[in-house]
Structure 1
Amino acid sequence: MHSIILTCQLQGRFKLNGMYKDGDLILGGLFEVHFLTVFPELSFRTEPEPPYCEQFDMASFQQAQTMIFAIDEINKNPNLLPNITLGYHLYDNCVMLGMAFRAAIALVSGTEESFSNLNCTGQPPVIGIVGDSNSTPSIAISSVLGLFRVPIVSYFATCSCLSDRKKYPSFFRTIPSDAFQVRAMMQILRHFGWTWVGLLYSHDDYGTYAAQSFHQEVQLFGGCVAFSEILPLDNNRKDIRHLVGVIQASTAKVVVVFATSTYLLPLMDEIVLQNVTGRQWIASEAWATSPVFHTPRLLPFLGGTLGIAIRRGEIQGLQNFLVRLLPDNDPKNNMVRVFWENIFGCRFETEGSQGEKACTGQEDLSSTNTAYTDVSELRASYNVYKTVYALAHALHDLMQCEEGRGPFSENTCADITNLQPWQVMRKSEFTTGFGDRVSFDKNGDALAIYDVMNWQPSSDGSIIVRTVGVVDEGAATGKVLTLNEEALYWNFGQESESCPPGTRRARRKGLPVCCFDCLPCADGEISNTTVHCPDEFWSNPDKDQCIPKEVEYLSYEEPLGISLTTALTARHCFCASYVRNNSELSFLLLLSLKLCFLCVLLFIGRPQLWTCQLRHAVFGISFVLCVSSILVKTMVVIAVFKSSRPEGKSAMKWFGAAQQRGTVLVLTALQVEYVISSKIVYECAIGSVVGFACCWDTLALAAVSFLLAFLARNLPDSFNEAKFITFSMLIFCAVWITFVPAYVSSPGKYAVAVEIFAILASSFGVLVAIFAPKCYIILLRPERNTKKALMGRGTEK
């Protein structure tokens, strides 16, 4: 009886660019080493030629080499996967779904023509896959490979749809999903108050899902999308012109774009052709750091672009590893050969024939300046590095498993000699040498953290991308967005609304916030963003700039200041004419009135520290001295009248010269102590508490004097000084009671003028009411200026 030998036969072979190295466990990798796929012409007579790739991408090749570097570093680390050597199989996906899918199938099925096994089982060719970089291939690959639980850990696929564990149970990623990316971009829009924005997105899964998330976030934010357009997949010229026309016609000055550089290049060419300026571009992480746009030609159009980028990291020793890459004649490593031919323009096969230079293998990579050797901005490469280590730590955890305490059925551990892919990504958490913690949530997503990028002009006129902030949803401080606004470069300004300068938005009631009218800005506000001017500035008549406020004060040069200065000088001289030949109390009263007139000088002119400190202090002390002298004079008049009667002979002993001086000094000293102990503000504050307190203290004394004088109004005519004091206090109180509403309602320097007028009016009223009758008797009626007349004996009734 003949035995039947069953074999598993490979049904086809794909022509792929790749790099290989054997090991105990193999990791697969998918990279965009070329970004253009060319399909040969079809012939129905022969088998079609396989497609091939063109336009070598140095940055993506660096990412592939970073995976090799990480595997080499792990193999040399005795503390991670000891006694196990990792190998790799890397393929080029050519930014084409069909090519990526073929490469993924080649990774999981292997490249052997056939092998004998009854059940076609055994250890698979790869234990896990690093990639793909794009969302659409990742969705297609995960849909198939997920059936076999092959772990796929992407370093650049961000579609939020891939977080669905039911559809993609074995998909993981070290880059945050678009859901986090959209929220990060909304943090920027919310920070600057941009609610009226346009949206462009690519015609693929990445752009479609990102646009859906963006629309939801904008609605929650309360904003509106001015237009929402799809970037054409085939880059049709007519469609591109349509997109540019939509951008030009829209009033939205902020344009958010979710797309890769492959989609955007033709669009940017058309934008330059039609000279579309005045737009603030917001870049998704897919193109925020793409070097293909950093040319002087695009600076006038894309300068000032804000975008988010995946976290930048540092990898020690990577640059030395990159420049030591040597050509490899192994046909399976044709990716290395293509790299050398592209970077040095030589050919290995031709050996210089047909006029082409032959590759010698002695060329110096360290002297080249390309995206391949540049390690200053390691973002995607840093994610690749973390992805490889995530798989390595997951494998290491399986090796550390103790039998009976394992993660599988009946607490068993995995058999390392026959490890299956579905057993790998049970747990993986570690910290990189750069200090970033890597872990995965229940959906396979990594912690969300982004750098905020700004496109600025460089010294050679091109564009340089600088980091100006960070968006970290796991920040310990709770502040998600941290932005250095002083480092920002604005090419077109920050306004996203259509209101002209000098106006502001006024939301229409019952409609979304993006529906508004443009109204003139209020005084002290500028532009259409309702920016308040600083305290020392004011808005100009057009309400589009803050200009320094005019300095206004009551000066000696203006008519009002000249008039008040002249008035106080005249009244001071008038007061001085009374000083001679007066009693002691009258002398103190006249002295206080002179001080009242002179203190007005402190209120005129530019306020200084010493004038502000002395204004109300001198004014208050002078008026208290004045009113206390009047009060004592009133009391003396009453005492003199009572002492003229038999029952009041002893009244005058309480109002001698010493008592008079003491009373005046005590009342004045109380005012001095109050003023000195009060807090003096450096600036001359309108409505000063100290100033008003002084006024009301003086009014209290004036009210007492008025009351006493009023009660003594019925004294004989010879004691008519009580009447004069009554009139003087009536004038004094009337002036200061009227002063309060006039002072409060007067603007600026006119409030100072009102206060000066009140001082002059009240002082002059006291002077005239008390001393004018005395002057009249002295100058015009000298016969009444005798003791006999004063005692009431000069005239008979």
Structure 2
Amino acid sequence: MIFAIEEINNSTELLPGIKLGYQIYDTCASGLVAAHVAFQLTNGQESVFLKDSNCSRAGTVMAVVGDSGSTPSISMARIIGPFNIPQVSHFATCACLSDKQQYPTFFRTIPSDQFQADALAKMVKHFGWTWIGAVRSDSDYGNYGMASFLDAAQKEGICVEYSESFYRTDSQSKIQKVADVIRRSTALVVVAFTAFGDMRFLLEELAQEPSPPRQWIGSESWITDPLLMSFSFCAGAIGVAIQQSVIPGLRDFLLDLSPTEVAASSVLTEFWEDAFNCTFTENAESNKRLCDGTQNIKTLKSPYTETSQLRITNMVYKAVYAIAHAIHNTVCQETTFTSQCDKHIRREPKQVFTALKNTKFSRNGYPLSFDDNGDPVAFYELVNWQKSESGLIELVTVGYYDASLPKGQEFYINRNISWVEGGTQVPVSVCSESCPPGTRKVLQKGKPICCYDCIPCPKAEISNETDSPDCFPCPSEFWPNAERNDCFPKPVEFLSFNEILAIILATFSVIGTCLAIITALIFFYHRTTPIVRANNSELSFLLLFSLTLCFLCSLTFIGAPSEWSCMLRHTAFGITFVLCISCVLGKTVVVLMAFKATLPGSNAMKWFGPSQQRMTVVSFTFIQVLICTVWLVLSPPFPMKNLTTYKEKIILECALGSAVWFWAVLGYIGLLAVFCFVLAVLARKLPDNFNEAKLITFSMLIFCAVWLTFIPAYVSSPGKFTVAVEIFAILASSFGLILCIFAPKCFIILFQPEKNTKKYLMNKN
């Protein structure tokens, strides 16, 4: 501060011709002492202090630089604030001091802890630490700073295992308790928002019984302190620090000390005696030698002479210059070539305070301005405690944090970081390991949100992000993979010609078709024989034709459903089966009429001759054609994707369109089949050497049994098996008809030709 004031007093640009005076007080880091000093400042100075008549005789000081601590600064600000005395602190960082309602005249050249807290929270988040411990000084600096950090950490999703406070004047047991909490904790990372004096007591306690390795994250108050770097177990510590700076001429000024100047100052005397281990006063009890003037400060190596890494020192330098610029703006007028300053004008602290709000300057490449809260633009260096080859801990700058940059770009690392125990990999500090994709987080009861269990997603849901709080279902036509971290299209299922089941059914369909054709050829070749002519050969050929169509229509049920195949399969099935049953019904009626015709006076065959038989078949079939036509016009079957039967696959099937018309088609077939079955039962005992009535009865019994069984099987069969059941019912009933009605006759035609005679046919016995 003295160097800066002397530099200003010798300047021809800043306050030319005006000298700044100063007085230094030591608040001893005490709020009470700071309050006492504040009262001294507001009460004005004794006249003996202002000897030069050219000096303005203000009753109070124009401005105050300090204090270095937040608590003393608060004490001072509350007292000098009502008097409009501006206060510019170089090291008081408490975010509470940004409140202009309580501290209207407070300014500072060091950033507020709110920025520091945000920077520390972003740093912790950047390295993936979600489970941390926290210790703080039990002071305004530590309490307000940690409160800001915890608030920022919560927004970043960081959990705190413990938060302990202590102060350097606390009892040994209290500090030991804090150390024990750190030792027993599971969090690897410890964020310390402490003053350097408090931190020394905690590290000394931890050094007595070293804790498991801990990654220390430090606030700017202690992370750059060279005395604390002697604690080797803190190697790898990382934190935010005030920007390094260079003040030209300061080192020469510090080294320009004569023994006379040292002896005249109690502060310098104490420093000199401690640095050179000598004394200025003769004391019989002291073993120290006398300071005889031979000590050379230029050969001294101590923090006093180390000016290559100035941090807080530059904050003091800028504070003095900020006040000087404010005073300059109140008493000086700028001209084209120089500044004209009124040496005798009287200025009040309030005028300096008003000017300080708008002060903006740059010194040695370091700009300074104040926002509405009296805070400067926040800029921090990220520093790391790294062990050198000699084993000593060195402070290395590894990046920076610039609050003036756009959001998300403030944090930057440009050098490798040495971690706890000299590690090169970022240490892991989490309460629970990250949940991989395919699982979701479930919080553990009674624990912070960072402590959770990873539960696999349900069968139909996925999570494709790490630490997903929820699983979500796939789109309707997609299904999760085995890991349940991605959706893939559901397999489409239908009765394909490539499947074994479809091949078997198609084979039987072809066999049935061939069987019907072969039977028709046999009947055609022997069409003049009695067994073929005995029961209306025309109906037999028509029945064989309809059975051929029945076997073939089963093939339309195999393959991917299309708009045309869906309409064809159901209507073709309904019409061909009605044609088939109509023919069987005609043959049954013929048997009954033939028997009635043998009775005396009966004229039955006259009313059911060949033309009537044809009309019966055509009429019954036409009704089914009409039902199918109405069905196709009003609500035809159509292909659809069934997503409900199976969740994990899509069933391609034909929707009925209108279930009423579908069951109308089946119901009509069933009605004819039952009617035919009843007539066949009535005719089963009629004398007939070829057992036509009995064969029809057996065939219709099989037909009805198959279709009665088909209904529940059709309703309950899932997916492609529904189609398979329908094909099976068609084939089974068709085989039942062709085998029961035509197989015995073919057997006689081929293997028992002696029975294929008119004589045998007429033999009623």
TM-score, normalised relative to structure 1: 0.51
Shift of the alpha carbon at 1:513? 4.2
Corresponding residue number in structure 2 for 1:707:
none
- Verify: 1:515 aligned to 2:451, yes or no: yes
Alpha-carbon contact 1:255-1:281 (below 8 Å) kept: yes
Q: 1:684-763 to 2 correspondence within 5 Å?
A: none
1:401, distance to aligned residue in structure 2 (A): 5.0
Q: Deviation at 1:336?
A: 2.1
- Find the counterpart in structure 2 of residue 74 from structure 1: 8
Whether 1:397 aligns to 2:333 is no
1:92 match: secondary structure? coil
Asked if residue 179 in structure 1 is aligned to residue 114 in structure 2, the reply is yes
Aligned to 1:444, which of 352, 364, 374?
374
**For 1:579-728, what aligned pairs fall within 5 Å after superposition?**
none
Contact 1:235–1:263 (Cα < 8 Å) also in 2: no
Q: Which residue of the other structure, out of 26, 30, 34, is the alignment partner of 1:100?
A: 34
Deviations 1:277-296 (A, max 9, x none): 3211110111110112111x
Show the counterpart of 1:423.
351
For residue 229 of structure 1, report the CA deviation from its aligned partner: 0.9
Give the C-alpha shift of residue 75 in structure 1. 1.4
Seen in structure 2, the aligned counterparts of structure 1 residues 382 and 209 have a Cα distance that, compared at 3 Å, is same
- In 2, the alpha carbon distance for the partners of 1:354 and 1:515 equals 60
Counterpart in the other structure of 1:341:
273
SS in 1 for 2:36: helix
Q: What corresponds to 2:753 in structure 1? A: none
Q: Aligned partners of 1:430, 1:352: CA distance in 2, in Å?
A: 56
Look up the SS of the partner of 1:214 in the other structure: helix
Residue of structure 2 equivalent to 1:304? 236
Shift of 1:310: 1.1
Which of the numbers 215, 229, 233 marks the counterpart of 1:280? Answer: 215
In 1, distance between residues paired with 2:78 and 2:85? Answer: 11
Report the residue type matching 2:309 in the other structure.
E
Taking only aligned residues, the RMSD between alpha carbons, in angstroms, comes to: 3.3
Please tell me whether the aligned partners of residues 444 and 452 of structure 2 are also in contact (alpha carbons under 8 angstroms): no
2:602 match: none
Cα deviation code 1:625-658 (max 9, x no counterpart):
xxxxxxxxxxxxxxxxxxxxxxxxxxxxxxxxxx
Which residue number in structure 2 is paired with residue 587 of structure 1?
A: none
Which residue identity does 1:422 align to in structure 2?
Answer: K
1:151-170 correspondence to structure 2 within 5 Å: 151-170=86-105
Bigger Rg, structure 1 or 2:
2
In structure 1, what is the Cα distance between the partners aligned to 2:404 and 2:17?
37
1:432 aligned counterpart, secondary structure: strand
SS at 2:206 equivalent: helix
Distance change (3 Å), C-alpha of 1:478 and 1:72: farther
Cα distance per residue 1:540-596 (max 9 Å; x no partner): xxxxxxxxxxxxxxxxxxxxxxxxxxxxxxxxxxxxxxxxxxxxxxxxxxxxxxxxx
Q: Which amino acid aligns with 2:112?
A: S
C-alpha separation in 1, matches of 2:241 and 2:109: 13
Counterparts of 2:408 and 2:118 in 1: how far apart (Å)? 15
Residue 403 of structure 2 corresponds to which residue in structure 1?
A: 473
Residue type of the alignment partner of 1:486: N
Query: Amino acid of the residue matched to residue 429 of structure 2?
Result: S
TM (norm. structure 2) is 0.53
- Code of the residue aligned with 2:384 in structure 1: it is N
Q: Residue 327 of structure 1 contacts residue 336 of structure 1 at CA under 8 Å; is this kept in 2?
A: no
- Counterparts in 2 of 1:366 and 1:105: CA distance versus 1, 3 Å: farther
Query: Shift of residue 113 of structure 1?
Result: 8.8
Say whether residues 1:486 and 2:416 are aligned partners. Answer: yes
Amino-acid identity (%): 38
For the pair 1:314 / 2:242, whether they are aligned, the reply is no
Contact 1:327-1:340 within 8 A present in 2 as well: no
Partner of 2:723: none
Report deviation, 1:104.
Answer: 3.7
Q: Distance in 1 between matches of 2:172 and 2:454?
A: 37
Structure 1's 72 and 351: CA in aligned 2 closer, same or farther, altered over 3 A?
farther
Corresponding residue number in structure 1 for 2:459: none
Instruction: Give the whole-Å Cα distance in 1 for the aligned partners of 2:280 and 2:16.
Output: 38
Letter in 1 for 2:387: P
Partner of 2:183: 248
Deviations 1:753-787 (A, max 9, x none): xxxxxxxxxxxxxxxxxxxxxxxxxxxxxxxxxxx
Moved more, 501-510 or 281-290: 501-510
Number of positions where the alignment pairs a residue of Structure 1 with one of Structure 2: 441
Give the Cα–Cα distance (whole angstroms) in 2 for the partners of residues 241 and 115 of structure 1: 49
Please state whether the residue corresponding to 2:24 is helix, strand or coil: strand
Corresponding residue to 1:458 among 360, 377, 388 = 388
Which letter maps to 1:347? T
Superimposed CA distance per residue, residues 260-291 of structure 1 (whole angstroms, 9 cap, x where no aligned partner): 12112221122122221321111011111011
The match for 2:597 is: none
Structure 1 counterpart of 2:53: none
Distance 1:500 1:402 in 2: 65
Question: 2:315 matched to which residue of 1?
Answer: 383
Asked if 2 retains the 8 angstrom alpha-carbon contact of 1:207 and 1:259, the reply is: yes
**SS of corresponding position for 1:466:** strand
SS in 2 for 1:437: strand
Distance 1:259 1:456 in 2: 21
Conserved 8 A contact 1:179-1:213: yes
Q: Do the aligned partners of residues 157 and 319 (structure 1) sit closer, same or farther apart at CA in structure 2, a change above 3 Å counting?
A: same
Deviation at 1:325? 2.1
**Which residue in the other structure is 2:531 paired with?**
none
**CA drift at 1:241:** 2.0
Cα distance in structure 2, aligned partners of 1:169 and 1:286: 25
> Contact 1:195/1:513 (CA < 8 Å) preserved in 2?
no
Q: Which amino acid aligns with 1:383?
A: M
Equivalent residue for 2:705?
none
User: What's the secondary structure of 1:453's corresponding residue?
Assistant: strand
Mapped contact 2:132–2:159 kept (Cα < 8 A): yes
Offset from partner CA, 1:189-220 (integer Å, 9 cap, x none): 12112121111111111111112112211221
CA distance in 2, matches of 1:382, 1:440: 16
Question: Which of 15, 19, 23 lines up with 1:89 in the alignment?
Answer: 23
Change over 3 Å in CA distance of 1:132–1:188 after alignment to 2:
same
CA shift for structure 1 position 330: 9.0
Structure 2 CA distance for partners of 1:349 and 1:241, relative to 1, 3 Å: closer
CA contact (8 A) 1:352 1:358 kept: no
Q: CA deviation at 1:76?
A: 1.5
Conservation of the 8 A alpha-carbon contact between 2:27 and 2:72: no
Distance 1:435 1:322 in 2: 22
Q: Is 1:197 equivalent to 2:127 in the alignment? A: no
Deviation of 1:255 after TM superposition, in Å, equals 0.9
